[in-house]
A and B are shown apart, each in its own frame.
Chain A
Amino acid sequence: MNPTIPLVAFAAFLAGLVFHVLHWRLKRPAKTELALAADFLAFPAALLILAPALTPLLTPAEAASAYLLHFLISGAYIASFPAVQAQSPSLEILLLFGKTGGAGFAGLSREEILKSFDASSLVSCRIGDLMKSGLVSRSGGTFTLTSPGRFVALFFRVQRRLLGLAARGG
């Protein structure tokens, strides 16, 4: 395999990452998913389409291979991003121990851990996120699934059913 292929893929990912950091620091985007797709997938795709024209180092097929690797690395970052953007309750629980732990630490009870969360906002903020993402719509006081929301819900229902897991996660 042409050694330039993985190099170009990593360089494209790093360029996307730098662009992403600058983008988020300058103005946090309203639509996270679109912004991540633009920073990591669309912008480097445009560069890689131009790559064979700009340099004799890659053929079009090699540029496509480089984009596939870049796509997978970027996909790994994008899939991990929700844990960065919205505080994960699991990770916040763990961070409690960092704040309170130390020599002689007696541990935390369930009640002490629960007190550190605003229980009502744990669900309401995620309902808000679902509305912003267009997966849920609100009519009066009632929430229903949009077509994309229904697709996502069915995808995970089928996934869990095939894996023999309980219907409800969370």
Chain B
Amino acid sequence: MELQTKILIFVVLFPVFLFLFHIPLSRACRRVQPQALTILMLVLSLPLLLLFLSFALAGSGESLPRALSAAVYFAAACLGCEIVYFHLFNMGETARRVRILGEILRRGSMTEEEIGSAYSGEDIVSLRLDRLVGTGQLSLEHGRYRLRRKSLYLCALGLRLWAELLGLRRKKP
């Protein structure tokens, strides 16, 4: 089978492999913060991806430029898959819209007050504070939160700059 075909088949099936691996991992590690576990899984998949690429390239007989091109394609495609996978998982875990849809699905129909009772603004902020502490972005000592890691904070700054570049008037959360 041609190298390009092998890579394309792998890339198309990669999200399915990720999900099939994620299911037993998530069930076995329930005490681990789900987002942290998902990121860990995606990072740990990198050596396996490298292994697949090495095997695929080894028997291909491609010239160096074509082999490098295949490696760049494979790396970019798998990274794209992983980012989409993480966001799709994260939506189920954190998105307000998905939570609201789930509440309405459960009850059939709801008024805005009923939605607000089931899922209030205070719930939203509290859940996120717990999550930010759980993922190590914030620390909580003596009832006060402090920034512990700057990684997500710097992402937040970057997103704000990008929103300004797009001329977006930021909606209040």
Listed in ascending order, the chain A residues whose CB lies under 8 Å from chain B are 1-3, 5-6, 9-10, 20-21, 24-25, 28, 65, 68-69, 72-73, 75-76, 79-80, 82-95, 97-98, 101, 105-110, 113-114, 117-127, 129-130, 135-136, 141-145, 149-150, 152-154, 156-157, 159-160, 162-165, 167-170
Q: Which residue of A lies closest to B82 (CB)?
A: A76
B131 touches A90 (CB 8 A): yes
A-B contact pairs, 6 of them (CB 8 A): A6-B69, A25-B166, A75-B84, A86-B171, A153-B101, A153-B105
B11 touches A72 (CB 8 A): yes
List A contacts of B131 (CB < 8 A): 90
Q: Which residue of B lies closest to A110 (CB)?
A: B129
Since A122-B121, A144-B104 are in contact, a sample of 19 more A-B pairs with Cβ atoms closer than 8 Å, ordered by chain A residue number, is A1-B7, A3-B65, A65-B73, A69-B76, A75-B83, A87-B171, A88-B173, A89-B125, A90-B132, A92-B156, A97-B146, A97-B153, A108-B144, A127-B115, A154-B105, A164-B30, A169-B92, A169-B102, A170-B124
B72 interface residue per 8 A CB criterion: yes
List B contacts of A117 (CB < 8 A): 121, 125, 173
Chain B, interface size: which category?
35 or more
B3 touches A1 (CB 8 A): yes
B124 touches A79 (CB 8 A): no
**Bound CA span A93–B155, Å:** 13
Listed in ascending order, the chain B residues whose CB lies under 8 Å from chain A are 3-4, 7-8, 11-12, 19, 22-23, 26-27, 30, 34, 62, 65-66, 68-70, 72-73, 76-77, 79-81, 83-84, 87-89, 91-105, 108-112, 115-116, 119-129, 131-132, 137-138, 141, 143-147, 152-153, 155-157, 159-160, 162-163, 165-168, 170-173
**Bound CA span A75–B124, Å:** 27
Identify which of A1, A108, A110 gathers the most chain B CB atoms within 10 Å of its CB: A1
A142 touches B162 (CB 8 A): no
Say yes or no: A159-B157 contact (C-beta < 8 A), given A114-B125, A117-B125, A125-B173: no
Selected from A69, A72, A105, A168, the residue in CB contact (under 8 A) with B99 is A168
